[in-house]
Structure 1
Amino acid sequence: MVDYRIVVPSGIVFDFNNMMGAGRLQPQEVEQALQQQGAVAEKAVCELRRSGFAKKHLSKDGTPEHVYFPRMPYIADGNPNTEQSIIKLMRYSKHLRSKDVVIFLGVGGSYLGNKVLFDAFGGYHWNTSATLRQGQPCIYFSGNNLDPVDCNSLLFKMRRMAGVSAQEGKKLKIMLVPISKSGTTLETISAFTYFYANLSQNADIDLDCTVVTDLQAPIGSAPLLQLAEKFGWERFDIKEGIGGRFSIMTDPGLVTMAALGGDIEEFLRGARDMDIYCRQAELAENPALLNALLKFMAYERGRDIEVFMPYSMRLKSLSEWYVQLLAESLGKRCNREGEVVYYGRTPIVAVGTTDMHAQTQQHQDGRLNKVVQFLEVANPEEEAILHNPFADVPFFDKYEGMDMAKALKAALNANEAALTGDNRYNARFTLPKLNEYYLGQLMYFLMLTIAYEGELADVDAFDQPGVEVYKKLMKAQL
């Protein structure tokens, strides 16, 4: 029996056995598509890497625009990341150790990827455990929604923390970090001005700011840059040719890694190794190309929903990041020839085992229109061994000595087997463990997959014309 999986040298596994078989894709049709459409897509992505050229891609202003996300992993002069920019980020990481709180203000690609990093390497207890932080600041996010209740809740927390610091004879040191390429993003600027106006008037708070914006923009049209010039604030760049949903491996995302004290170079090395492997592999061994092709072929067979389902609470936000990446990149009315095609899968966030008690009924018995993409971490860093603290209730003895991770794995295996038994499309990514290197590999792999699928579907994976429609209507109301 053929085993349909790719194991990259680092140990990451892409298992697509359950995309193949009766009622699903047939090996011969996949091989034919790989040698024909796949070869064309590979050639286009090679050109994208080489020159930044994406066929018929235009900026939102209608002018030709390069796409440079494949250069993010490579630290070199002229690339989005240089030796100087990495040194600057490392210095910034040390500087933030002098702060008590950092509040990142951003929406879309300026928030979702950053939240992935925080959840993976900080997590739920980061802000309550000085031991976990090891000298790094507390980290909060805002500006990702025009929600006054959410903003006021965080403002209340900052005032309360400042009050505690005042009782200790200190000021609460807060760093605000607005992230916006244009410097005019409504959610970001609303939150930034709201927090700045309120926090700067508090005598118990020492407020500082860092801006992440387009440093090459004319200063007259770049309000965040104007403020940075006026007040001498630290500033980081949003580079040309890196769309927000692809920006996690450049300054807009790496400032969060810096705040966490994470290993930026390992994060980029993981992405770099994945790119090198995909670039050098034969077509049938290129996991990013094959993932794109399988999802594309499944879409052509009516599977227009993708459920991204990590079996890890720490990776739920990765699903949310992937939702934007997939939806904005591939959800397109027209192809690159201007023909109406209404392409794209609807991405769904799920997490195992939680959503096995919520969504799995639909996945298992609902319409045959879904691909379920599982993600697991093979070797969790922690264990939770069960014991029976109730000697007079023998029912609990059956779980004595069981590691909760074993139950998690069993749940994934059972979910996968149930779907496959009904000929429902599913696949699995396996990370050896969760660290900067492997997360860098996975996130870059997903971005590269999107680039390949854009070529297969002949849609521009790097614009977002549908988003501009509501923005114009909203601005008219404001």
Structure 2
Amino acid sequence: MKNPGARVLTLPSGFTFDYTNIYGCDKVRESDMAGLRRKITSAHAAVEEMRSSGLVKGHLSKEGLPEKVLFTQLPYIAEGMLNTPESIARLEDFGDRMRRREDAVIFFGIGGSYLGNRVLFDIQGGEFWNSWTEKQRQGYPRIYFSGNNLDPRRTADLIRQIVNEAEAKAGKYRVTLVIISKSGSTVDPVAGFMVLYDALTAAGGITVSAAAVTGLSDTGPKSLLQQLAEEEGWPIFRIPEGVGGRFSVFSESGLITAACMGMNIKAFLAGARSMDEVCRTEDVWQNPALLNAALKYIAYVKYGRHIEVFMPYADYLKSLAEWYVQLLAESLGKRYDRDGQVVHYGRTPVIAVGTTDMHAQTQQHQDGKRDKVVQFIRIRHWEEELVVPERFTGIPYFKNMAGLNMGKALETARRANAEALSSDGRFNATFELPRLDAFHAGELMFMLALS
């Protein structure tokens, strides 16, 4: 049953942003948005300037030098853009070679070079991908991640896992190690790569290959990783200048994982492009990225809601929440504003998953301080619908559960959580994806990046 007072922005793709429980009486008010009109207009103009020139006021590189911001080019596959028809074809060809040849591919990255890739892995394959048969994976290799920590135990366990797989296989076992580092000298992935490369090469019965994803230079100093890859003859993919790690999932850095699993790269970028086109409008009520940013900015500065709980009701979107933590923390966590004034600004991101964390965190969300915005994510249509069977009918409780649709029960729980929060003056909002696929993942992730 629809809420007649609902405030929902619906896009042609079916993506929706329900901001009913963050805007209105006893929430962010119409007068608040009106008072922010000049800043909203300025923010939109700044993003348009970034789109056209790459320039962002006050943005500096890690070295403290002015640096362009070019991630808004990434959804567009065209000559002269960061993703070209040739670069996408090269990624797809690499993925096809991994499909035909390799038993496993191990990715070494940290920050966005791991977090974004993990989102794509979960959406395309999920927790049990590596346990599926080769036929169920449609010939694509097992996928592992390392280099996102210097943890010796897990690294040793991964070595044992690959060696065990090699011993169980009749014939030569083949693995490709893909190291991802823009600078080419990030300690964590480099250390993990070197340890695995050495151990697996020495193990016997394993053919070890490698590829590199790094910042490339044709004229200036080359990264250490570029130098190494050229010397060894490894395939090299590019992390473009002007694309920070938290946005790199839309570049070759993230898309290489998608390619190695058969994910539709073009559909993922098409979703991002569709969202970018919608967000070109200066009408805040029709621009989901701008509306999301404005509502949460006001919720923080006027109403003290400085914590954002990012709560997908989907197990395989927990990695999206982890990616969003970096996106929000690195984008907004600032000591100084763009005029050089000390502000110590930023919302604190918190990861939660429904319904899991309704049994762990929700008491704090519903009864603790009113200092949070809970951002829900829901999936409208699940690929598979599971229903609780009629079993153990001798116990009335179990008998009564027969016929329960798990997806509908999940949404009922989310809605109850949202209503309980809203009824007590606790801000929350919901992004709804029509389904969990490459297109809608690209759409949502790009909207969050623009916000």
TM range (shorter): over 0.9
Establish whether residue 424 from structure 1 lines up as the match of residue 426 from structure 2: yes
Moved more, 225-234 or 365-374: 225-234
Aligned to 1:8: 11
Residue 209 (structure 2) pairs with residue 205 (structure 1): no
Mapping for residues 142-181 of structure 1, pairs under 5 Å: 142-165=146-169, 168=170, 170-181=171-182
The separation in 1 between residues aligned to 2:184 and 2:289, in whole angstroms, is: 34
Are 2:106 and 1:103 aligned?
yes
Residues 1:18 and 2:21 aligned together = yes
How far apart in 2 are the matches of 1:329 and 1:125? 33
Provide Cα deviations, 1:271-326, integer angstroms capped at 9, x if missing partner.
10111111136232111000000010011121110000000001110000000000
8 Å CA contact retained: 1:136, 1:260: yes
Contact 2:216 2:238 in 1 (8 A): yes
Alpha-carbon offset, residue 149 of structure 1: 0.5
TM-score if structure 2 supplies the norm length? 0.96
Q: Report deviation, 1:218.
A: 6.9
Question: Structure 1 residue 324 and structure 2 residue 326: aligned?
Answer: yes
Alignment of 1:329-478 (within 5 A): 329-449=331-451
Secondary structure of the residue aligned to 2:350 is strand
1:133 alignment partner in structure 2: 137
How far apart, CA to CA, are the structure 2 residues paired with 1:433 and 1:132?
Answer: 21
Letter in 2 for 1:28: S
In the TM superposition, what whole-angstrom CA distance separates every residue of 1:11-48 from its partner, at most 9, and x where no partner exists? 10000010023432112322342x32111111111101
How far off its partner does 1:160 sit?
0.7
The letter for the 1-side match of 2:139 is G
Task: After superposition, give the CA deviation of every residue in 1:416-460 in whole Å (9 maximum; x if it has no partner).
Answer: 0000000100000000001110000000000001xxxxxxxxxxx
- The secondary structure found in structure 2 opposite 1:375 is strand
Task: Tell me how far 1:143 sits from its aligned partner.
Answer: 0.4
Deviates more, 1:126-135 or 1:320-329: 126-135
Query: How has the CA–CA distance of structure 1 residues 263 and 281 changed in structure 2, closer, same or farther, with 3 Å as cutoff?
Result: farther
- Please tell me the root mean square deviation across aligned C-alpha atoms, in Å: 1.3
- Which has the larger displacement, 18-27 or 361-370? 18-27
Shift of 1:62: 2.3
Instruction: Determine the C-alpha separation between the residues in 1 that align with 2:66 and 2:270.
Output: 30
Contact residue 219 and residue 226 of structure 1 kept, 8 A: no
Identity of paired residues, percent? 49
Q: Distance in 2 between matches of 1:379 and 1:310?
A: 14
Given that residues 108 and 244 in structure 1 are in contact (C-alpha distance below 8 angstroms), is that contact kept between their aligned partners in structure 2?
yes
Provide the residue aligned with 1:245 in structure 2.
246
Partner Cα separation in structure 1 for residue 184 and residue 284 of structure 2? 42
Aligned equivalents of 2:282 and 2:76: distance in 1?
19
Runs of 4+ in 1 over 6 A off after TM superposition: 217-220
Partner residue, 1:90: 92
Letter in 2 for 1:153: D
Contact 2:178–2:211 under 8 Å retained in 1? yes
Distance apart, 1:223 and its partner CA: 2.1
* 3-state SS of 1:290 partner: helix
The letter of the residue matching 1:121 is Q
Name the counterpart of 1:265. Answer: 266
Larger displacement relative to structure 2 (20-29 or 231-240): 20-29
The answer to whether the Cα contact below 8 Å between 1:19 and 1:426 also exists between their aligned partners in 2 is yes
What is the deviation of 1:390? 1.2
TM-score by length of 1: 0.91
SS of residue in 1 equivalent to 2:431: strand
Q: In 1, Cα distance between the equivalents of 2:310 and 2:215?
A: 32
Distance 2:355 2:39 in 1: 37
* Alpha-carbon contact 2:271-2:439 (below 8 Å) kept: yes
State the shift of 1:221 in Å. 5.2
Tell me the CA shift for residue 215 of structure 1: 1.6
Name stretches of at least 5 consecutive residues in structure 2 with no aligned partner: none
Distance 1:157 1:448 in 2: 39
Match in the other structure for 2:59: 57
CA distance in 1, matches of 2:258, 2:389: 37
Task: Measure how far apart 1:388 and its partner are.
Answer: 3.0
Equivalent position of 1:297 in the other structure = 298
Greater share of residues in helix: 1
CA distance, structure 1, for counterparts of residue 6 and residue 420 of structure 2 = 19
CA contact (8 A) 2:32 2:298 kept: no
Which letter does structure 1 place at the counterpart of 2:450?
A: L
Q: Is the 8 Å Cα contact of residues 41 and 282 (structure 2) preserved in structure 1?
A: no
Shift of 1:385: 0.8
Give the distance between the partners of 1:289 and 1:137, measured in 2 at CA: 40
Q: Deviations over 1:159-196 (max 9, x none)?
A: 1111112xx1x111000000001111010001000001
